[in-house]
Amino acid sequence: MSNKQRLLSGMQPTQPRLHLGNLEGALRNWVRLQDEYKLYCCVVDWHALTTMSEDPSQIAANCREVALDYLAAGIDPEKTSLFIQSHVKEHAELHLLFSMVTPLGWLERVPTYKEKKQNLKTESEPYGLLGYPVLQAADILLYKPYGVPVGKDQAPHLELSREIGRRFNHLYGDVFPEFVNIIGEVPVMLGLDGRKMSKSYDNAIYINETTDETAAKIKTAYTDPEKIRKDDPGHPDGCAVFSLHSVYNKPNLPQVESECRSGARGCVACKKECTEAVNTALQSIRDRRRQIDAGSLEAILKKGADEARTFAAQTMDEVRAAMKLG
């Protein structure tokens, strides 16, 4: 087992594809961190059931697609344990034990719970919606990590995981060390409509799409509405195309900005340059993705689950001993 400090990261497979916001906001950070830390990188399929329980038929396939995006972005299975949550049953056992010590009031106060409850499409509310943070606490604490890489806006969500760990330790003795948030540098990535890039807004550019699909999307992207003619002075702030330039065309960014402001560049040419920059930056990732066959992917996921299970089983031994179970 590695002597490096551990980190736990994960994403839900509610959609089969990760977008550039996921790539720049999370994946790039994980790829950087895997050299310094032992990363457990999890596709959290049970969490996807909180919104997909009526038709879970796509979840397994989605998991593979998300794992392919991880690998394409540079997650190295020799350094990182990449696995699917449901392949390591210890997550379920720790979730059950945590559910016995977590006060209901803590869960009912979670802002995202209230929000999800309002948007619920099914008639009756499943327990899983309320218990989501308990499963998340189990996902994290099972690996007794030093830290969890997280975007600034998600940092408060992890506080409840810490609270659950503290409560367990208070009741049964110190099993779970306190973990830290590792806040990544997240570039502002606007979606094609100028709002935050998100699969639910249908405004995303995906890692796994063709160069033509990316080009067609950027062609229709939101730009400064006051810049009507080519030589009108423009305002790059809030322009979706400028946001992409700022991540994928950094060396030319000052020129893009000054030409936009002065009216020396039109949006059509600007979008063309942006498309080339985005497609060039994604080329190696897309190529790598195509080279991973289904057999190799399954072998990577199995190896990752075996490694994760080895650590998780050890934690569960400590948990059962602390609770005097078994």
Return the structure tokens found at 207: 């890692």
Within 255-294, which residues bind ligand SF4 (CB under 6 A)? Answer: 260, 265, 267, 270-271
Q: Give the integer Cα–Cα distance in Å for 313 and 142.
A: 9
Q: How far apart are the first and last CA of the chain?
A: 26
Using the rule CB under 6 A, give the single segment among 56-64, 88-96, 232-240, 276-284 that binds ligand SF4: 232-240
Q: Which residue's CB is nearer to ligand SF4, number 147 or number 234? A: 234
219 catalytic, yes or no?
A: no
Q: Binder to ligand SF4 among 242, 247, 315, 319 (CB under 6 A)?
A: 242
Q: Give the integer Cα–Cα distance in Å for 136 and 44.
A: 9
Asked if 304 and 81 touch (Cβ cutoff 8 Å), the reply is yes
Q: Which residue's CB is nearer to ligand SF4, number 241 or number 319? A: 241
CB of 241 vs ligand SF4, minimal distance in Å: 4
Catalytic pick among 4, 89, 199, 219 = 199
Catalytic pick among 4, 89, 196, 219 = 196
Asked if 41 and 170 touch (Cβ cutoff 8 Å), the reply is no
Within 51-110, which residues bind ligand SF4 (CB under 6 A)? Answer: none
Query: CA 194, 195, 197, 201 torsion: positive or negative?
Result: negative
Catalytic pick among 4, 116, 219, 230 = 116
User: Does 217 participate in binding ligand SF4 (rule CB under 6 A)?
Assistant: no
Residue 95: count of CB within 10 angstroms of its CB: 19
Q: Binder to ligand SF4 among 91, 227, 289, 309 (CB under 6 A)?
A: 227
116 catalytic, yes or no?
A: yes
Write b or e for each residue in 208-225: b if 16 or more Cβ atoms lie within 10 A of its Cβ, otherwise e: bbeeeebbebbeebbbbe
Reduce the DSSP state of residue 62 to 3 states and report it. Answer: helix
250 catalytic, yes or no?
A: no
Helices (H), 253-293: 253-262, 267-291
User: Does 224 participate in binding ligand SF4 (rule CB under 6 A)?
Assistant: yes
CB of 258 vs ligand SF4, minimal distance in Å: 10
Tell me how many residues contact ligand SF4 (CB under 6 A).
13
Positions touching ligand SF4 (CB under 6 A) are 223-224, 227, 234, 236, 239, 241-242, 260, 265, 267, 270-271
Which residues are annotated as catalytic?
A: 116, 196, 199
